[in-house]
Amino acid sequence: MGLFAALSPRHLSNPSTSLPSLDLCGALSTTDCSSTSPSSLTRVYSFVPASPRLIGFPEQKAMAYNFTLSSGHFAGAAVAFLTVWLVLRAFGSPESRFPVLNKKGRFELSGARVRKEYNENSWSMMQQGIKTFDGGPFRISSADRGEIVVLPPRFGPKIRNDRRLSLSSLVAKWNLSHFEEFDIFSLGNSPTQIMQSVFRKDLTQSTGRFMLPLSQECDYAIPRLFPTSTEGWTTVTVLPTAFQLVSRLDLLVYLGRDSARSDAFTNDVCNFVMQARPALIALRAWPSFLHRILRLFLPQCQKFIATRRRVIGMINAANESKGERPTQASDEQSTHFRSWYDRQQRQLGGKYEPATAQLLAFAAISNTSDLLAKVIIDLAEHPELIGPLRNEIMSVIPTMGWRKIAIYKLFLLDSVLKETQRLKPVQVGFMEREVLQNLTITDPETKDPIHFKRGGTIMISPGQMREPSVYRDPENYDGYRFYRLRFDEGEDPYADAQKPGPPDPRLAGDVGDKDATDRRSSHQLTSLSNDHLGFGLGEHACPGRFHVASEVKIALCHLIMKYDWKLVDGKPRSVQFGNAFLSDPAGKVAFRRRKETYPWLEGDGIQATLAAAVATAA
């Protein structure tokens, strides 16, 4: 799930309170992303107006009644009330039988306090719920999602492919996708599943073709975003800078190099992703019957609509510059994003609007940027990993070139990424689903039937990610954790680097969904497992995770070899925000350019290295 779906407003339950919202791209003091210096980007806040007064309704005059009640009347009323309460309790919704994590006080009429408390402390409260209820199901109250049933991880395999549960309908509902301005969130809810097919098939199968262009774009973009001086340290605001870098890389993949190197295009894509959440928060703070009108007048919505219009115009211009829509015969090997959608539409049917579809692809920038920023911060805290990572990169890339198999063989880097994702996943809870119909699921452990009512929301807790029976010393960061799980002690995984051979055919598949027994595959970053839900599980697992993994690894290869970096004023803390667990938008790290240079990482040497590796392999 993208961060659009994951983020939650803090104070939706109390619209009169000023509502701080995270700015995923960071922002300038003018809440704009157009600065050429990403390190100047900082946290900003959006404010939601006070609750509107409903006007036009005449006041109802009080009516007085004279009556007296005997003690018998009081007794009868009490019995009747108790009877109704017991009946409602006995036959209430099935979910009401689960304990509540954040109960409101006995004399609290509103659940505003507990919902606000959860939105601001969601990760720590989720861990508290796991311990308090001994790994059993429980309920939580959040501001914009209402009540959610949290299931223990053992339910993951039970619900992963259950068609009676839906993620896409939940995302569409949360994000008001019935309005044109937010229609990108409805694409995943299409019956033909065009979007999922594009990411799962076309993008994944094209990953190898983008290795060389992505490395070349990193060589171009990184000196423009990170310091170039080898003398002294320069402070960089990590998340906004990662956001800018990932935006350029994704624009390269989806629209081409000209778009990626356009500062105006890159900045507007950043602003589009950055402004969507504040616009949704501002709109949802008002009653739903006012949304249709207020979306045209609220400042946050007006700003987002204007940015959206500009980005769509740029996308259409980029598509037109590539010529007319390719024919079925000519686009089989195309890496043009629009041609993928056209091909899937011909095969699956249905309709789509090209520019809107490409907007949805940009929404994933936030998750990729968050992972890259978190890894940079973790490596700053664990500098002992930098040397081994450099040795690994130097043992693989110069020999094998920028190819898919070379990126696969960066085993330690893969382990570092997976460990960061284990301890700092982008979400507090996983596999969020809307219950589409009344259903019963059997508890895998107790064998008890558990009933869920249509319209409810469920999610899987992150308990397994820090479970001592699954991971040794689970609370501490260990960059070698998944490396050790893949290889025996003393084994040299790089022994065949000179003779790489063909890529493992499982790399293009979903090994986590196939009961894989090969631990070398099952502990990869992109593998799916009930013990590690960083990318989800089942048919709603992240369809673009292979692209994300490759993109982040290539960027890190350039950063690790070209830069030293260290923490500034302590380690930046991750931000708990509703169901999101995000890198601090204001977190800073000091960077310094290294004096060493590597031809296979710069200029024409990038392509020459690949050509030499291909010739050697042949």
Strand order in the sheet with 138-142: 138-142, 146-151, 457-460, 430-435, 165-166
Regions of the chain with pLDDT less than 50: 1-69, 85, 87-92, 324-334, 497-517
> Six-digit token pair at 53?
């007064």
CA distance 90 to 191: 38
- CATH code for position 354: 1.10.630.10
Q: Determine, yes or no, domain membership for 125.
A: no
* DSSP code string of 431-494: EEEEE-S-EEEE-TTT--EEEE-TT-EEEE-SGGGG-TTTSSSTTS--TTHHHHHHS-TT--TT
Q: Determine, yes or no, domain membership for 62.
A: no
Q: Specify the pLDDT at position 66.
A: 44
- Inter-axis angle of helices 411-423 and 545-562, to 10 degrees? 110
**In a 10 Å sphere around its CB, with 0-12 CB exposed, 13-18 middle and 19+ buried, how is residue 226 labelled?**
buried
Nearest residue to 345 (alpha-carbon basis) of 191, 184, 179, 168: 191
Give the contacts of 92 (CB within 8 A, at least 6 positions apart).
none
Q: Determine, yes or no, domain membership for 608.
A: yes
For 420, the enclosing helix (H) or strand (E) is helix 411-423
**Domain housing 185:** 5-41+170-617
Q: Specify the pLDDT at position 187.
A: 60
Burial 198-219 (b: 16+ CB within 10 A, else e): bbbbbbbebbbebbbbbbbbbb
Q: Specify the pLDDT at position 407.
A: 94
Query: Which pTM was predicted?
Result: 0.80
Nearest residue to 450 (alpha-carbon basis) of 61, 95, 132, 70: 95
Check if the beta carbon of residue 56 is closer than 8 Å to that of residue 72.
no
Q: Determine, yes or no, domain membership for 555.
A: yes
CA distance 227 to 235: 9
Q: Determine, yes or no, domain membership for 469.
A: yes
Task: Say which amino acid occupies 276.
Answer: A
Q: Specify the pLDDT at position 606.
A: 87
Q: Determine, yes or no, domain membership for 63.
A: no
Q: What is the DSSP letter of 94?
A: G
Task: Say which amino acid occupies 458.
Answer: I
CA distance 385 to 124: 28
CA distance 591 to 594: 9
Q: Specify the pLDDT at position 416.
A: 98
Sign of CA dihedral 142, 144, 147, 153: negative
Chain centroid to CA 487: 29
CA distance 543 to 170: 17
Q: Determine, yes or no, domain membership for 51.
A: no
Please check if 542 is assigned to a binding site: yes
CA distance 151 to 139: 9
3 state DSSP class of 138? strand
Q: Specify the pLDDT at position 96.
A: 58
Q: Specify the pLDDT at position 59.
A: 36
CA distance 556 to 506: 24
Looking at the structure of the chain, the number of domains it has is: 1
Q: Determine, yes or no, domain membership for 162.
A: no
Q: Tokens 């350019």 correspond to what residue? A: 593
Task: Say which amino acid occupies 460.
Answer: I
Strand order in the sheet with 588-593: 234-237, 588-593, 563-567
Check if the beta carbon of residue 19 is closer than 8 Å to that of residue 285.
yes
3 state DSSP class of 590? strand
Parallel, antiparallel, or unpaired: how do β-strands 430-435 and 457-460 relate?
antiparallel
Widest CA span in the chain: 100
Beta bridge partners of 235: 590
- Helix, strand, coil in percent for the chain, rounding step 5: 50, 10, 40
CA distance 246 to 582: 16
Task: Say which amino acid occupies 176.
Answer: L
CA distance 431 to 155: 10
CA distance 498 to 395: 9
> Six-digit token pair at 406?
């070379």
Beta bridge partners of 457: 434
